[in-house]
């Protein structure tokens, strides 16, 4: 018999709640962390060493050896604080969150592939005493099957989904701010969500609360996240078309985007993702990226490498 998100939380003593898409996804993980704590489960928040190019123009995630002021828990997982930054002086969103909430956060490095993430997370989980892992994707592109026209960033999400499905502890996939990153339409998102529900994979849902919004409104201005901000705006009644990504795309905001949907990780892994299963044994970021390229699936690493090259040539 499947367990609801609340049942899993009640049986957990310490949960790790991670924004799985890099950039500002850790901000979208804050409401779920608050919810778990309200249910009586202590949490630690986290994200990836992959800032978006608007914050870190160097393509891809930073390796652990490129980071200062971090306490390593394993070769691919470390504890960050407000002073954690790259050797070039760029602060992570996780550092901003650590300062705002006055607590340490987790950073995960994807450079050793999914195999490196699985091994590193399992080691960190054992050291910290974690017994529940919740991965939060802001926008919902993790549910894309690759045929959607708006998709452009499947690498980090697919790698983390692949890792989550193979951890030593129970995992839950959460999606906040559906369609607020401009990658899936509401029709596409709803079709995928219906497939998951048909397999018994919908474990619960929760709307942003006034207390969530109060905290997010303090944190978001210190970051460059757009999707989490739109989730807040949705909870405050904004409805209609909004232009994002510097004018590159438009999204339709409505109250549904204020909801976090909690999903069975393994059902998404088995029945939704076209590529996650093929990534399990990868031992490098480039190996995982090549699998996406061969499957003709969009990778944010390719975009960032192209963007950096064009910028360099212009200069």
pLDDT tens-digit series, residues 161-182: 999 999 999 999 999 999 998 8
**Cβ contact 48:112 at 8 Å:** no
**Cβ contact 294:274 at 8 Å:** no
- What is the CB-side half-sphere exposure of residue 124 using CA atoms within 13 A? 27
Residues of the chain with confidence (pLDDT) below 70: 1, 246-247, 307-315
Q: Locate tokens 């998404």: which residue? A: 268
Angstrom distance (rounded) from CA 228 to CA 247: 17
Residue 198: per-residue pLDDT: 97
Maximal CA-CA distance, the chain: 59
DSSP for 189-247, written as a single string: HHHHHHHHHHTT-EEEEEEPPHHHHHHHHHHGGGS--SHHHHHHHHHTT--EEEEEGGG
- Closest residue by Cα to residue 292 from 305, 270, 274: 274
Torsional sign, CA 271, 274, 275, 278: positive
Angstrom distance (rounded) from CA 66 to CA 88: 8
pTM to 2 decimal places: 0.95
- Helix, strand, or coil here: 251? strand
Residue 179: per-residue pLDDT: 92
Q: Where are the domains of the chain?
A: 5-314
**Cβ contact 253:175 at 8 Å:** no
Q: No. of H helices and E strands in the chain?
A: 12, 11
Tokens of 36: 């778990």
Q: Locate tokens 């990534």: which residue? A: 279
**Cβ contact 109:66 at 8 Å:** no
- Closest residue by Cα to residue 231 from 157, 134, 105, 140: 140
Instruction: Sheet containing 259-264: give its strands across.
Output: 67-74, 77-86, 105-108, 43-48, 15-19, 132-138, 171-176, 259-264, 202-207
Torsional sign, CA 214, 34, 49, 81: positive
């Amino acid at each position: 018999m499947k367990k609801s998100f609340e049942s899993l939380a009640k049986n957990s003593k310490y949960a790790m709640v991670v924004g799985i898409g890099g950039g500002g996804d850790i901000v979208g993980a804050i409401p779920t962390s608050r919810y778990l704590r309200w249910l009586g489960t202590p949490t630690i928040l986290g994200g990836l060493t992959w800032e978006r190019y608007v914050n870190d123009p160097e393509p891809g995630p930073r390796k652990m050896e490129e980071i200062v002021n971090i306490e390593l828990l394993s070769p691919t997982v470390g504890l960050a604080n407000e002073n954690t930054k790259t050797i070039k002086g760029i602060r992570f969103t996780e550092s901003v969150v650590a300062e705002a909430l006055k607590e340490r956060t987790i950073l995960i490095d994807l450079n050793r592939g999914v195999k490196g993430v699985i091994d590193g997370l399992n080691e960190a989980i054992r050291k910290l005493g974690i017994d529940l892992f919740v991965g939060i994707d802001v926008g919902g592109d993790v549910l894309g099957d690759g045929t959607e026209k708006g998709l452009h960033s499947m690498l980090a999400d697919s790698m983390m989904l692949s890792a989550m499905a193979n951890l030593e502890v129970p995992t839950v996939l959460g999606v906040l701010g559906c369609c607020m990153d401009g990658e899936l339409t509401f029709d596409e998102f709803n079709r995928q969500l219906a497939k998951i529900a048909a397999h018994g994979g919908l474990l619960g849902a929760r709307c942003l609360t006034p207390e969530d919004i109060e905290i997010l409104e303090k944190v978001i201005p210190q970051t460059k996240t757009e999707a989490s901000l739109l989730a807040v705006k949705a909870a405050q009644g904004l409805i209609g078309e909004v232009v994002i990504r510097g004018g590159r795309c438009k999204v339709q905001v409505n109250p549904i985007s204020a909801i976090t949907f909690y999903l069975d990780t393994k059902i998404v892994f088995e029945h939704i993702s076209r590529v996650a299963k093929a990534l399990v044994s990868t031992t490098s970021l480039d190996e995982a990226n090549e699998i996406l390229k061969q499957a003709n699936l969009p990778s944010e690493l390719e975009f960032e490498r192209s963007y950096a090259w064009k910028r360099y040539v212009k200069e």
